[in-house]
Amino acid sequence: MRIFLDSGIRIQQNGQLLAIDSKNSKKKADAVLISHAHSDHYSTGKQPALTTPETLALIQNNRPSFNGCKTISLHHKKKLGKSTVCFHNAGHILGSGLVHVESEKNILVTSDFNPVESILFSAAQPMPCDVLVIETTFGLPQYSFPDREKVHEEMGNWIKQNVKHKRFVVLAGYATGKAQELTKICNEFANEIPLVHEKVFSTNKVYEKFGKKLGKYIELNHNLQDGNVLIMPPSLFDKNLIPALEFALHKKIVSAFASGWGHRSGFDKVFPLSDHADYNGLLKFVKQCEPKQVYSIHGFAREFAHAVQRKLKIPARALGEKNQQALTEFGFG
């Protein structure tokens, strides 16, 4: 069995090659699995793929021409040649899945995941496996997130205080995932109906199609006077936005960014709200999965692998790429 990186994670065992979250690889696979709908986790190529219905709907919301993808619901198994695959709730965004592959070895690939319950999703659950491939975006001890409920309350109070003082609030959150949390937080903790950017609006509609209750919101369309709060993607937030809003509304603008990263320049406030696991959450998840081998990927992968070996006494290594397409391969068993 081999696990390696080639524009995504690749698992080779029993004469079969599976690609997980493959991005524009020239090397074809027997099957492609997409863990979730963030654009850095799937390719727009023509090779057929397998994902959840929710993930496909989110991808097609952003890329209407995307097709050729089959779906299986979370927690349902599917036979792919000599392997059996299953997506289990990853708690990250709508439809996100831990990828469970049963074949020669029992492998769990977390991709982006959240082992803590959020305002929209239940927590990702650990499961026994031979090999764990774990995403380690926040794989250093200094990344320790506060209780989510307290963050929700703090955000709600901050919004209410600013609205009380006649300030217009701009909240920045990624259009797929974070913005839906912000929509619900505005409704439940600030008693505000937010204006939302068109990208957020269309994604909110997909969430609601699959049963997620976000509360009320209004699509932004030359109607800034209709609300006290605006939710928009951070990519649209620049030095010209605040002066333009102040000119249009004749009031002071305050801004906040929701992210697990503790600092983001250009915002009045950063709320530590992440849809990833923090350091202690990562270690706890590894311990509960009881793997024989751990591979860490993304973020602080090397540092986290060392921590797993030191603290949990489990063999661990960081998966990495050299010069983009050159492979770093690790064998097991």
pLDDT digits (tens, 9 = 90+) for 203-256: 999 999 999 999 999 999 999 999 999 999 999 998 899 999 999 999 999 999
Given pLDDT bands bounded at 50, 70 and 90, which one contains residue 40? confident
Give the pLDDT mean for 151-159. Answer: 98
Is the pLDDT at 328 greater than 90? The verdict is no
Per-residue pLDDT at 260: 85
Residues in the chain, total: 333
More confident residue, 319 or 229: 229
- Do 87 and 35 contact (CB within 8 A), yes or no? yes
Q: 3-state class of 309 per DSSP? A: helix
In terms of DSSP H, where are the helices of 165-239? 178-189, 198-209
Distance CA 161, CA 34 (A): 42
pTM of the model: 0.93
DSSP 236: G
Is-contact 304 312, C-beta < 8 A? Answer: no
pLDDT of residue 26: 64
Mean pLDDT, residues 75-79 taken together: 97
Mean pLDDT score across all residues of the chain: 92
At 325 the pLDDT is: 27
Domain borders along the chain are: 2-143+276-331, 148-271
Phi and psi (nearest 5°) for 101? -120, 120
Q: Does CATH place domain 148-271 in 3.40.50.12650?
A: yes
46 pLDDT higher than 70: no
- When the candidates are 3.60.15.10, 3.40.630.30, 3.30.1330.40, 3.30.1330.10, the CATH number that belongs to 2-143+276-331 is 3.60.15.10
Report pLDDT for 326: 26
Q: What pLDDT, on a 0 to 100 scale, did the predictor assign at position 255? A: 96
pLDDT at position 25, please? 58
What's the pLDDT score for residue 332?
37
Q: Is 164 helix (H, G, I), strand (E, B) or coil?
A: helix
User: What's 224's DSSP letter?
Assistant: G
